[in-house]
């Protein structure tokens, strides 16, 4: 059941639970590193709580909590957008419990609110968005479209720094020059080479791969970094919310957003990025934006069901399914 704006009456537990259930189902479609969906939801006493589930990342040897927290931020934005699109005014408290760093957010429904067409459109994009790692070869993103997409990212308390072509080249060279003790740094270099066009990294000078020629990828892709002045879990949560908001607006405009975690996964790689582009402050996530020449979508990844991301009865209250309507 959707909310009725203007009607002031207590919201029943059944209606709240149904709204939360739909929010959790939508959140299951959020992007997450390695598709781990590192979040847990819990409904109790009329609030919806979001927890990071770092156990899902353990096998990946994630050195710190940032990737999981960014994924949780994306799930949080999907959930609050879904509630807004169903006509609910929601208060979100981030990091509500100092004693529990995994408790990332608490959502409370305050009442009914009108739904703007933009909010409804954005919520519809949840079902359409997906990560498409294919090279982008379509038309470049027009400056005014890029401005709109950037505004969507930046409305979530982070900055989107768009890389100039010389900065992309600088990064490519810097990663090739770095002492790649971390396998992920070497992987970053390989990915960056692919991004900038596989044919561009060829030959070697002093044993270093160097960019050579401008290929199709350069003109089609826009590279950007989500960044901000601090590097704490609240910032990563905002970065995830921004990833969701920006990607959904981009989806509506036919633009694909590919997150790229290697440059921020390890301290060495982050430092390299920070040194290569000092004006970006603390980098949270690197992104490739672009249009695909063909509309054929890449195959979708397998996601967990909403039930699999909910706390089980006995552990905490599970979110009940929606009532028949
Ligand atoms: C923090 C974060 C980092 C990611 N890093 C990468 C990456 O390095 N390479 C990549 O292809 N996809 C990356 N992704 C996208 C995920 O692989 C993708 O969201 C997941 O497989 C689910 O697929 P979907 O986005 O189509 O729902 C990342 C996503 C997040 C949230």
User: pLDDT tier at 314 (50, 70, 90 boundaries)?
Assistant: very low
> Residue 265 C-alpha to ligand 1 middle, in angstroms?
13
Q: Is the CB of 74 under 6 A from ligand 1?
A: yes
Q: Which of 26, 27, 34 to mutate to test the pocket of ligand 1 (most atoms within 8 A of CB)?
A: 34
> Residue 31 C-alpha to ligand 1 middle, in angstroms?
6
Q: Mean pLDDT in the chain?
A: 82
Residue 310 has pLDDT above 70, yes or no: no
pLDDT at 96: 97
Residue 53 has pLDDT above 60, yes or no: yes
Mean pLDDT of 66-91: 97
Residue tagged 């009865």 (tokens): 313
Residue nearest to atom 20 of ligand 1 (CA): 35
> Residue 112 C-alpha to ligand 1 middle, in angstroms?
34
- Beta-sheet pairing, 221-228 with 256-260: unpaired
Q: How many CB atoms lie within 10 A of CB 265?
A: 23
Which residues, listed in sequence order, are joined to residue 225 by a DSSP beta bridge?
161, 286
pLDDT at 235: 97
pLDDT at 324: 35
Q: Is the CB of 298 under 6 A from ligand 1?
A: no
Q: Tell me which of 184 and 151 has the higher pLDDT.
A: 151
Relative to the CA of 132, which ligand 1 atom is closest? 26
| Low-confidence winner among 6-10, 147-151, 268-272 (lowest mean pLDDT) | 6-10
User: What pLDDT, in 10s, does the model give residues 233-292?
Assistant: 999 999 999 999 999 999 999 999 999 888 888 787 788 888 888 889 999 999 999 998
**Where does 141-292 have alpha helices with state H?**
143-154, 165-177, 183-195, 216-220, 233-252, 262-265, 267-276
Residue 111 has pLDDT above 80, yes or no: yes
Q: Is the CB of 262 under 6 A from ligand 1?
A: yes
Cα–Cα dist 120/78, whole Å: 12
User: What pLDDT, in 10s, does the model give residues 177-215?
Assistant: 655 555 555 656 666 666 665 444 333 333 434 343 444
pLDDT at 270: 84
pLDDT at 199: 45
Say whether 143-290 and 13-127 share the same fold: yes
> Residue 158 C-alpha to ligand 1 middle, in angstroms?
19
Taking the domains of the chain in order of start, what are their residue ranges?
A: 13-127, 143-290
User: pLDDT tier at 18 (50, 70, 90 boundaries)?
Assistant: very high
Residue tagged 């900055």 (tokens): 159
High-pLDDT (> 90) share of the chain, %: 53
High-pLDDT (> 70) share of the chain, %: 71
Nearest 10 degrees: Cα torsion 225, 229, 234, 239: -20
Are the beta carbons of 226 and 287 closer than 8 angstroms?
A: yes
Residue nearest to atom 2 of ligand 1 (CA): 33
> Residue 191 C-alpha to ligand 1 middle, in angstroms?
14
**Per-residue CA distances from 232 to 64, 235, 243 (Å):** 11, 5, 17
Mean pLDDT of 35-41: 95
Residue nearest to atom 17 of ligand 1 (CA): 34
* CATH number, span 13-127: 3.40.109.10
**Where does the chain have alpha helices with state H?**
13-27, 66-85, 117-125, 143-154, 165-177, 183-195, 216-220, 233-252, 262-265, 267-276
Domain 143-290 grouped into CATH 3.40.109.10: yes
The segment with the largest mean pLDDT, out of 58-67, 196-205, 315-324, is 58-67
Report DSSP state, residue 238. H
Mean pLDDT of 12-31: 95
pTM of the model: 0.86
Q: Is the CB of 130 under 6 A from ligand 1?
A: yes
């Amino acid at each position: 059941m959707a909310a009725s704006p203007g009607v002031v009456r207590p919201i029943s537990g059944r209606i709240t639970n149904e709204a939360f259930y739909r929010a959790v189902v939508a959140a299951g479609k959020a992007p997450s590193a390695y598709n781990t969906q590192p979040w847990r939801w819990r409904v109790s006493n009329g609030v919806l709580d979001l927890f990071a589930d770092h156990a899902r990342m353990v096998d990946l040897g994630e050195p710190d909590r940032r990737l999981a927290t960014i994924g949780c931020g994306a799930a949080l934005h999907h959930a609050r957008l879904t509630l807004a699109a169903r006509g609910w005014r929601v208060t979100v408290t981030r990091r509500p419990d100092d004693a529990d760093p995994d408790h990332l957010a608490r959502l409370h429904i305050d009442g009914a609110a009108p739904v703007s067409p933009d909010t409804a459109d954005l919520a519809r994009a949840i079902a359409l968005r997906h990560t498409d790692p294919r090279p982008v070869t379509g038309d470049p993103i027009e400056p005014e479209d890029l401005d709109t997409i950037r505004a969507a990212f930046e409305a979530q308390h982070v900055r989107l720094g768009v890389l100039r072509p010389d900065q992309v080249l600088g990064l490519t060279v810097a990663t090739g020059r770095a002492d790649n003790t971390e396998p992920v740094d070497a992987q970053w270099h390989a990915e960056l080479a692919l991004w900038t066009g596989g044919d561009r990294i060829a030959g070697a000078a002093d044993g270093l791969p160097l960019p050579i020629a401008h290929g199709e990828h350069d003109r089609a892709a826009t590279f950007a970094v989500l960044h901000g002045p601090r590097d704490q879990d609240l910032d990563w949560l905002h970065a995830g919310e921004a990833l969701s908001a920006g990607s959904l607006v981009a989806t509506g405009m036919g633009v694909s957003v590919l997150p790229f975690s290697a440059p921020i996964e390890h301290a060495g790689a982050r430092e390299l990025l920070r040194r290569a582009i000092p004006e970006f402050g603390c980098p949270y996530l690197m992104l490739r934006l672009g249009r695909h020449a063909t509309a054929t979508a890449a195959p979708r990844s397998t996601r967990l069901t909403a039930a699999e991301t909910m706390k089980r009865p006995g552990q905490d209250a599970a979110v009940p399914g929606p009532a028949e309507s």
